[in-house]
Structure 1
């Protein structure tokens, strides 16, 4: 190699191998969105997404998935629409957020990881249904951590709404941290995929 060469042959070989690796050239199909409806449709959707919330809604059986669309800029300064994590609703006498019934209740934890008396039986992106273990009154509010097995823990803040006929307590979630809300939605979406693989195939 000449003294003024920037890269060694090993480095060049590595870069070429990375460039031709098919795994690295795959796009995340679950979050990208290509609009092939012509320039006018693309421009209209881009303008709408830039000024207001734009969503795509899918309906199957008794459930609705609402995907937010976000405007993102790539490295070439081109604007693209990207799908966000959906909110999942279920139809019934009234439309409500889809609730994930946990196979085994999960105890909410304090900041140190110690178990509280509140055990989650069902969770949605808007609320939780909890069992109170021990001889304590249900708290009017809580600020605890939800740690389902195999997932990073998620901060939850809840306000007591009511007691159910089954003796469980419904709490409305008041999530002030957008990233925690997004992580909760991701968890619920992952579980929805496991329960309804035909929808996400």
Structure 2
């Protein structure tokens, strides 16, 4: 009498290879935070994070990274502090959000994916610096999509602030959709890591 097998040999080999793959067993060290300051310090930070906006700030040359702290519950119902995606500011005459200067401008797209007349030169989590191509006046507001190569599209809404001396137009971004803002911050953080790997090592 032949015994029924639950897994084929190929399935068993695959599971064993996954189990022994060291890359799959690594935790995401960039988002976890361990506090080794004793129970009182942990309790204080946990209470503050639960009732107020708690952040960690890091200063690097002329840049300031502000990481929000969030309370998360794991599968064992233990509460931990987790780092969120940072906001990056640069120092100068006034502190302003760090701007990512794109190597080549990217056209904002409409819902169908067709390029608009607005081409992005610089992006921050709060605004864009764009060129208006074609013979149109800069729109007072826009609701378009930002589609950098290799990333999922990000919905953006902007309001015209001013024209620069270089003939570009500064738009302030609406912070209405938290998910889209978070995705834009993640894109900017990823680019910041590529430009400043020494900060994120």
TM range (shorter): over 0.9
Distance 1:50 1:161 in 2: 36
- Aligned residue pairs: how many? 201
Distance 1:20 1:57 in 2: 37
Change (3 A) 1:116 1:10: closer
Deviations 1:19-43 (A, max 9, x none): 4443332110011111111111111
Distance 2:105 2:151 in 1: 15
Task: State the Cα distance separating 1:149 from its structure 2 match.
Answer: 1.2
> What TM-score does the superposition give when structure 2 sets the normalisation length?
0.92
Task: State the Cα distance separating 1:14 from its structure 2 match.
Answer: 6.1
Question: Aligned Cα RMSD in Å?
Answer: 2.0
Distance 2:82 2:51 in 1: 15
SS of residue paired to 1:186: helix
Deviations 1:54-73 (A, max 9, x none): 10000011000000011000
Change (3 A) 1:51 1:8: same
Distance 2:48 2:58 in 1: 19
In structure 2, the partner of 1:26 is 26
Q: Which runs of 4+ in 1 moved over 4 A?
A: 1-20
Task: State the Cα distance separating 1:150 from its structure 2 match.
Answer: 1.4
Distance 1:9 1:101 in 2: 52
Q: Could you tell me which runs of 5 or more consecutive residues in structure 1 were left unpaired when the two chains were aligned.
A: none
Distance 1:147 1:12 in 2: 41
SS of residue paired to 1:89: strand
Deviations 1:104-127 (A, max 9, x none): 110000000011000000000000
Distance 1:99 1:112 in 2: 27
> What TM-score does the superposition give when structure 1 sets the normalisation length?
0.92
